[in-house]
Copies of this chain bind each other. A is one copy, B any other.
Amino acid sequence: MLGGESKERAIHSSKLLYLLLITSISLNLYSFSSLLPFSSTPEPGWTAPASTEAEAVAAIQCSGHGRAYVDGIYVGGVPVCECNTCYGGSDCSEISPDCPADADSGDPLFLEPYWMREAAGSAVVVAGWHRMSYRINNDAAAISAELVKQIRRLHSAVGNAITDGRFILFGAGSTQLLNAAVHALSPDDPLSPPAKVLASVPYYPVYEMGTTFFNDRENRWGGTTSTWANKSDSSAAGEFIEFVTSPNNPDGSLKRPVLNVSSVITDHAYFWPHFTEIPAPGDEDLMVFTLSKLSGHAGSRFGWALVKDKKVYDKMSKYIMLNLFSVSRDTQLRALKLIKVIVDGSKVGGKDIFEFGYSTMNDRWRRLNDVVSKSNRFSLQSLSPQFCTYFQTIRDPSPAYAWLKCEREEDEDCAASLKAEGIMSRGGATYKTDGRYARLSLIKTQDDFEQLLQHMVALVSKEGGAQVI
């Protein structure tokens, strides 16, 4: 018989042995299962390395003027900070003196802080075997049914488009869908004259660039709508395809077709409460939207079209199919997560991306307006407060772009004059209109906007010889 202490020791030893045995069995099972080629369920904890990596990279400090990415350039085992314009140094803390303000591109980084705040809800883990197939549920168009459902919920929550009785089509960005739409609306009959593709000035130049570059036998760029609006014989000139951008890029005005033609492509890229009032849901035959200006994810290249006519939808689908088969599943997965966060957060205090987007854009517009209103040299497009069905209130303007006019006679090339003063813009000529205008992007990072404002303040101050702010 064993004494008390010995007994305890024996129990302890046997417990230890048991534990070792269990550990050993688990380890063996682990090694064994890792050798099995067709194990259909991965080991628990398989997401840990990716999570650890992502959190480590997110914790890299870039002084609030940049960020590091997991797929950035690695130096010394960690990815480098990628700094905002005019910032440099290993942690983006150094501002370069005399750096021009870059208000050129429509890069929607104003929403980046929203997604950093919503980090936990908006992250996705992509498994190595995630949707490898060409198809989804044996459908070659490979359109995620859940994503379609969320897009319909989104338009219904925002009230900016009617989705009932419309086909939904995905593209790798809205640009691709716009090209697909031009092709689909062009005549099928090779003996028909090519359709003329038109837009109203000032217009987004990519419509013309795409139509001209792809050089489709079935259509050609036809210039501006004003050329045809007053011609009584326009009906004899063959078919027309009119681009309508609403709100318009660059000037933010809500637009309607100018010509009474059957083929209209409505580009609703900016038709979100960030940028404009929503007077009523879009109800056009062919509407195109993009994630880029909704969530700010320009880099994801995701757009969708709402199409009434089955024949047009089929031809657009064939275009997408022969161009890229279908939109990347990685992109669709991410778009699903982001749109879910947006819809679930809409009208929830502090969670609503449109509240966030609107207040940011309105703040920028107000501050720029304050400066420009003190100037005789510059003026801005006139936008007035309007009732918005989304916010259920009259809202002040918050356009994506300032459409600046240089009022002085010598400033015929407004963009050049701005450039000489250290402000990068896009001149009126780009939008096929008077060079006295220039587009200033207000949707970039806060740093970009502050630099633009500083430069504008300095410029306007020079007019009166005193500081305006």
Chain B residues contacting A118 (CB-CB under 8 Å) are: 128
Task: Decide: B71 and A119 in contact? CB cutoff 8 A.
Answer: no
Residue in contact with A120 in the complex, picked from B40, B46, B59, B446, CB distance below 8 Å: B46
Task: Decide: B49 and A120 in contact? CB cutoff 8 A.
Answer: yes
Task: Decide: B117 and A105 in contact? CB cutoff 8 A.
Answer: no
A58-B127, A64-B40, A73-B146 are contacts. A132–B325 as well, Cβ < 8 Å?
no
- Residue of A127, A134, A146, A319 with most chain B CB atoms under a 10 A cut-off: A127
Task: Decide: A38 and B58 in contact? CB cutoff 8 A.
Answer: no
A144 sits at the interface (CB 8 A): yes
Task: Decide: B59 and A44 in contact? CB cutoff 8 A.
Answer: yes
Task: Decide: A133 and B299 in contact? CB cutoff 8 A.
Answer: yes
- Residue of A71, A105, A300 with most chain B CB atoms under a 10 A cut-off: A71
- Residue of A37, A119, A337, A446 with most chain B CB atoms under a 10 A cut-off: A119
Task: Decide: A324 and B175 in contact? CB cutoff 8 A.
Answer: yes
- Surface stretch bound by B, among A212-220, A366-374, A458-466: A212-220
Task: Decide: B299 and A132 in contact? CB cutoff 8 A.
Answer: yes
Chain B residues contacting A135 (CB-CB under 8 Å) are: 105, 107
A286 sits at the interface (CB 8 A): no
A131 sits at the interface (CB 8 A): yes
A469 sits at the interface (CB 8 A): no
A116 sits at the interface (CB 8 A): yes
Residue in contact with A43 in the complex, picked from B119, B300, B341, CB distance below 8 Å: B119
A207 to chain B minimum Cβ distance, whole angstroms, is 11
A331 sits at the interface (CB 8 A): yes
Residue in contact with A50 in the complex, picked from B125, B133, B330, CB distance below 8 Å: B125
A430 sits at the interface (CB 8 A): no
Number of copies: 2
Task: Decide: A134 and B119 in contact? CB cutoff 8 A.
Answer: no
A302 sits at the interface (CB 8 A): yes
Chain B residues contacting A398 (CB-CB under 8 Å) are: none
Task: Decide: A128 and B147 in contact? CB cutoff 8 A.
Answer: no
Task: Decide: B145 and A73 in contact? CB cutoff 8 A.
Answer: yes
A107-B135, A299-B132, A323-B175 are contacts. A123–B50 as well, Cβ < 8 Å?
yes
A125 to chain B minimum Cβ distance, whole angstroms, is 4
* Chain A, range 1-57, C-beta contacts under 8 Å to B: 34-51, 53-55
A439 sits at the interface (CB 8 A): no
> Number of A residues contacting the other chain (C-beta, 8 Å)?
119
- Residue of A146, A301, A338 with most chain B CB atoms under a 10 A cut-off: A301
Chain B residues contacting A70 (CB-CB under 8 Å) are: 124-125, 127, 130, 333
- A297's closest neighbor in chain B, by CB? B132
- A102's closest neighbor in chain B, by CB? B138
Task: Decide: A299 and B123 in contact? CB cutoff 8 A.
Answer: no
Task: Decide: A301 and B322 in contact? CB cutoff 8 A.
Answer: no
- A327's closest neighbor in chain B, by CB? B301
Task: Decide: A125 and B128 in contact? CB cutoff 8 A.
Answer: no
Q: With A and B bound together, what is the CA distance between A129 and B331 in angstroms? A: 14
- A114's closest neighbor in chain B, by CB? B37
- A350's closest neighbor in chain B, by CB? B35
Task: Decide: B214 and A46 in contact? CB cutoff 8 A.
Answer: no
Task: Decide: A176 and B126 in contact? CB cutoff 8 A.
Answer: no
Residue in contact with A129 in the complex, picked from B67, B85, B124, B324, CB distance below 8 Å: B67
- Residue of A39, A108, A134, A147 with most chain B CB atoms under a 10 A cut-off: A134
Q: With A and B bound together, what is the CA distance between A334 and B72 in angstroms? A: 13
- A108's closest neighbor in chain B, by CB? B132
- A57's closest neighbor in chain B, by CB? B127
A296 sits at the interface (CB 8 A): yes
A209 sits at the interface (CB 8 A): yes
- Residue of A115, A126, A318 with most chain B CB atoms under a 10 A cut-off: A126
Please provide the 8 A-B residue pairs with the shortest distance between their CB atoms, ordered closest to farther: A122-B128, A42-B119, A54-B125, A115-B128, A46-B119, A299-B329, A47-B51, A115-B129
